């Protein structure tokens, strides 16, 4: 139990999400992860809690920005204008977006908690 509590403390203190140590991504996937993390922190986290409270979809403006980053062409074959990467590239994108939304939800709940 002590090890688990220590791991949770490290994860909460980390600025890199729930990943502790090397996550095993190759250079390309790590670059995608880093870019999506930066994007999610700046464009998703500040708004995700409000989207949740209003039962809203991710706004089209955010999806357009993701499109400009090339997110939706990651798995399209190169001969059709995509990057030709495997489906794991979209898993990396999805995980970074999920982590940002989860972080936003946690911080939103924390703001609404009554003081002790």
Give the pLDDT confidence of 28-58 residue by residue, as tens digits.
999 999 999 999 999 999 998 888 889 999 9
Distance CA 103, CA 67 (A): 23
Give the pTM: 0.70
Q: pLDDT-derived band of residue 89, with 50, 70 and 90 as boundaries?
A: very high
Residue 17 pLDDT: 53
pLDDT given for residue 101 in this prediction: 84
48-86 pLDDT, tens digit each = 888 888 999 999 999 999 999 999 999 999 999 999 999
Question: Is the C-alpha dihedral spanning 14, 17, 19, 21 positive or negative?
Answer: negative
Distance CA 14, CA 19 (A): 8
- Range 74-88 burial, b when 16+ CB lie within 10 A, else e: beeeeeeeeeebeee
Q: What is the chain's mean pLDDT, rounded?
A: 83
Question: Number of helices (H) and strands (E), helices first, in the chain?
Answer: 5, 0
Write down the pLDDT at residue 111. 42
Looking at the chain, the whole-number percentage of residues with pLDDT higher than 90 is 51
């Amino acid at each position: 139990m002590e090890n688990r509590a220590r791991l949770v403390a490290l994860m909460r203190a980390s600025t890199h999400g729930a990943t502790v140590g090397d996550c095993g991504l190759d250079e390309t996937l790590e670059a995608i992860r880093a870019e999506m993390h930066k994007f999610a922190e700046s464009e998703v986290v500040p708004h995700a809690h409000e989207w949740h409270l209003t039962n809203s979809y991710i706004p089209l403006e955010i999806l357009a920005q993701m499109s400009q980053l090339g997110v939706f062409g990651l798995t399209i074959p190169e001969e059709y204008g995509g990057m030709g990467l495997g489906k794991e590239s979209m898993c990396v994108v999805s995980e970074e977006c999920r982590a940002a939304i989860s972080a936003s939800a946690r911080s939103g709940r924390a703001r609404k908690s009554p003081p002790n």
